[in-house]
Amino acid sequence: MVKVLIVDDSAFMRNTLTSLISDDPEIQVVGIARNGIEAVEKVAQLKPDIVTMDVEMPKMDGIEALKQIMSTNPVPVIMVSSLTTDSAKVTLEALEIGAVDFIPKNLSDLSVNIVKIKETLIEKIKKIGKKGLPVIKKISSFKQLQMPKTADYTSHRRINIVTIGSSTGGPTALQNIICKLPKDFPVPILIAQHMPPAFTGPFAERLNQLSAVEVKEAENGESLKKGVVYIAPGRGHMSVFRKKITETTISITENKGNYIYKPSVDVLMLSVVENFSGHVLGVILTGLGNDGLNGMKEIKNAGGKTIAESEKTCVVYGMPKAVVESGIADKVVPVDEIAGEIINTV
């Protein structure tokens, strides 16, 4: 049984979240809190497995409550955030402090997608609550890393591009990786992180501030440059088109197609391998589901190289698990070691 504490100053949101998750027999809402002060007290008192935490509350906001909880009684916390740029910046701060994920505050308004929202929320709460906090060394600013080579890959082709896919828990994992890369990183890096449209821009800006490499939200039609990290915008799918040997451009389409997630990891990876064949390094990080599995398969089949994050550092071992169980991961390593593996591979 996963014990949940719901923290929100809105009775409507408390009731909505409770009703969405209470139908599942493996979930028990053990308490509610109306502000950060109550949240800190009830985490200590009720020992929940997971907490949903509103950001803006009276007396003590969600950020301050999160800081106190992580320093006294660490527990997985999912932030409940409005889908605005300002809220995105606060939510990203929460993820750096120790929150594992976030959900949209206006989820109750999305009546058309309520069934899917309910399923996703329940799955996140169960998987995160049962696993607990992952063991990850926090990286808050640029820290160049050079790790010794480990076992050789089956392919020895030169890597011309790196592509990374992530979802739940991904922002923290990506920060851990990107902040360790040197300024003169020799190839472009393309990232598809499942994230709402208002969040990808601030996320790219934050990574750019913390990293030696340039990080930006990708723009439709721009040309790829070596040493630049491109974050797929949340409004659509990112793919690449190789106009000629020396120039590759980015395409952003808002057509969702048959893909559940936007931006899709598979859309990105399949386009990259189509244009770069076996000269691709594919990396799959923490996340629900199996987005990226088809893309990683094609990278492997074309003679490229593949890395999956190991279970011990994943917030949710879904996307990497699908890749590992399919036998297509050349290496399975904790997130703390992935930057070193990328550096040594390119």
Beta strand pairing call for 189-193 and 228-231: parallel
The token duo for 203 is 């996320």
CB atoms within 10 A of CB 129: 21
- Which among 81, 166, 167, 271 is annotated as catalytic? 167
CB 173 within 8 A of CB 284: no
Alpha helices (runs of H) in the chain, residue ranges in sequence order: 11-21, 36-46, 62-72, 85-97, 114-131, 170-178, 197-210, 265-276, 293-301, 319-325, 335-345
Report the distance separating Cα 300 and Cα 154, nearest Å.
10
With the CA atoms of 67, 72, 76 and 77 taken in that order, what torsion angle do they form, in degrees rounded to the nearest 10? -30
E strand or H helix at 104, and its extent? strand 101-104
- Axis crossing angle, helix 293-301 with helix 265-276, rounded to the nearest 10: 10
Residue 167 is among the residues annotated as catalytic for this protein? yes
Report the distance separating Cα 318 and Cα 124, nearest Å.
11
Closest Cα to residue 183, out of 228, 219, 150, 136? 228
Is the torsion defined by CA of 120, 268, 131, 138 positive or negative? negative
- Axis crossing angle, helix 335-345 with helix 170-178, rounded to the nearest 10: 50
Residue with tokens 């906090």: 133
- Which among 9, 54, 101, 291 is annotated as catalytic? 291
- Which among 49, 87, 101, 194 is annotated as catalytic? 194
Closest Cα to residue 120, out of 95, 96, 103? 103
Report the distance separating Cα 185 and Cα 196, nearest Å.
28
Beta strand pairing call for 247-253 and 237-244: antiparallel
Active site residue ranges: 167, 194, 291
